[in-house]
């Protein structure tokens, strides 16, 4: 296919229409997304419900394809409507124009993360309905808000409001990350996310003195310990070719705040630290270690969790999980090679796994640069269309397993 054929392809047109909706942080307005999804549900003859888990929530959109045996545990196909901010001057094309070049590359924020997955689900269901397919299990498609930057992610609110229990979900699919070679990435777990703020108090005074117990001294000690730990994780990763970034614990300094002017020793300094804890690490022991470093640095350090996710067990990827076996068999029958990984970031799957539902992260994108959250994010039209066929196979298999 060439550019003319892609531009006139119904599925590509739907994808580009969704990409042109600027559901971008901060202060996302989801009205256009909801209207778009209403139109899609009508075209597919799927029931649609708009859910507000609490009175101040943004909308969660839920589509339903009733199964022939609705008493069976259902399949959930999840995606999020929001996208991260853009620096438009860094883009070759308008990030919300869904420009397609001669090679079929569609440039837009959300092209990889993750509006592609949302409309590929819809495309796969359109193809299954056209073929007369009837699912045994009920299929739900959830389109949730605030995954990227919201204080109350939509999926978290659905879980807390007990919607997953009401829907009787047996298994969930959600987003993954593209692969730069022919092997597709499949994510069965996520590291535990902590965002930590250290408020470091100390002696204040004139910048010409050598005061004791200053906030700067304590900060220096604590930061050195954190960076020593970080260096050890870097060494571990570099020394074992079988490991990926998701297999180690990452520690990154993200914020340093404090002080009023250069000749005043401040009474308070703050550090913001992003920590992603490997699934193999003892979380309680690690927290105890950090608190010990704070004590060693000196009194007056407040250790605050801005985000503190609990450990969530990985989804089993063995013979004890029939959904995994079905998913894997589908890809095998398509001749697709996969790589099992721990997700590097954080997705809605962590909330789903937290309530005991097995979940996999998978975006059917290979031979493509990883551009999520980057400038000039794009997805090729042929890759997108192939992904619909891949989902068609996976969804039909899961719905009838």
Query: Which one from 11, 82, 113, 309 is the annotated catalytic residue?
Result: 82
Provide the residue ranges of all domains of the chain, joining segments of one domain with +: 3-175+363-399, 192-308
Contact 161, 236 (CB under 8 A): no
Other beta carbons within 10 Å of 211: 14
Residues composing the chain: 401
175 is catalytic: no
**Contacting residues for 289 by C-beta, under 8 A, at least 6 apart:** none
* Whether the bond into 114 is cis, omega within 30 of 0: yes
Instruction: List the strands of the sheet with 359-361, edge to edge.
Output: 47-51, 60-65, 139-144, 74-80, 169-174, 359-361, 184-190, 338-343
- Identify the pLDDT of residue 213: 96
147 is catalytic: yes
**What number does CATH give the domain 3-175+363-399?**
3.40.630.10
Query: Which one from 113, 146, 147, 190 is the annotated catalytic residue?
Result: 147
Is residue 201 helix, strand or coil?
strand
Mean per-residue pLDDT pooled into runs of 10, the chain (401 residues): 92 98 96 98 98 87 98 98 97 98 97 98 98 98 93 89 90 97 98 97 97 97 98 98 96 97 97 97 98 96 94 97 98 98 93 96 98 97 98 98 96
- Identify the pLDDT of residue 57: 79
Single pTM value for the model: 0.93
**What number does CATH give the domain 192-308?**
3.30.70.360
Instruction: Say which residue the tokens 């909308």 belong to.
Output: 59
- Identify the pLDDT of residue 162: 84
**Contacting residues for 58 by C-beta, under 8 A, at least 6 apart:** 28, 30, 52, 145, 146, 150, 154
């Amino acid at each position: 296919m060439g550019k003319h054929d892609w531009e006139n392809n119904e599925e590509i047109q739907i994808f580009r229409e969704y990409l042109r909706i600027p559901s971008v942080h901060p202060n996302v307005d989801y009205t256009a997304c909801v209207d778009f999804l209403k139109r899609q549900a009508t075209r597919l003859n799927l029931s649609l419900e708009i859910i507000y888990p609490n009175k101040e929530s943004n909308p969660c959109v839920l589509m339903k394809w009733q199964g022939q045996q609705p008493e069976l545990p259902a399949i959930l196909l999840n995606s999020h409507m929001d996208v991260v901010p853009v620096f438009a001057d860094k883009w070759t094309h308008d990030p919300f124009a869904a420009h397609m070049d001669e090679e079929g590359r569609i440039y837009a924020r959300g092209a990889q993360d993750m509006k592609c997955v949302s409309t590929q689900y819809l495309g796969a269901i359109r193809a299954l309905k056209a073929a007369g397919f009837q699912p045994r299990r009920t299929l739900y498609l959830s389109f949730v808000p605030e995954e990227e930057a919201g204080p109350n992610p939509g999926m978290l609110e659905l879980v807390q409001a007990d919607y997953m229990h009401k829907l009787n979900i047996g298994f969930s699919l959600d987003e993954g990350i593209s692969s730069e070679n022919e092997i597709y990435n499949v994510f069965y777990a996520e590291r535990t996310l902590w965002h930590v703020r250290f408020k470091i108090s100390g002696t204040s005074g004139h910048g010409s003195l050598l005061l004791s117990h200053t906030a700067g001294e304590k900060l220096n000690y604590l930061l050195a310990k954190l960076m020593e730990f970080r260096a050890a994780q870097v060494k571990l990763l570099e020394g074992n070719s079988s490991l990926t970034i998701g297999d180690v614990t990452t520690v990154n300094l993200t914020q340093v705040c404090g002080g009023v002017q250069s000749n005043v020793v401040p009474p308070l300094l703050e550090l913001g630290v992003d920590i992603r804890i490997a699934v193999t690490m003892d979380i309680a022991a690690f927290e105890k270690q950090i608190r010990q470093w704070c004590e060693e640095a000196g009194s007056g350090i407040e250790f605050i969790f801005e985000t503190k996710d609990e450990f969530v067990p990985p989804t089993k990827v063995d013979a004890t999980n029939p959904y995994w076996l079905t998913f894997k068999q589908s890809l095998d029958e398509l001749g697709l090679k996969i790589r099992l990984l721990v997700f590097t970031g954080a997705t809605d799957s962590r909330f789903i796994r937290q309530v005991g539902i097995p979940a996999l992260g998978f975006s059917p994108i290979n031979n493509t640069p990883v551009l999520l959250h980057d400038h000039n994010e794009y997805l090729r039209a042929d890759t997108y269309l192939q992904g619909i066929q891949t989902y068609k196979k996976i969804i039909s298999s899961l719905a009838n397993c």
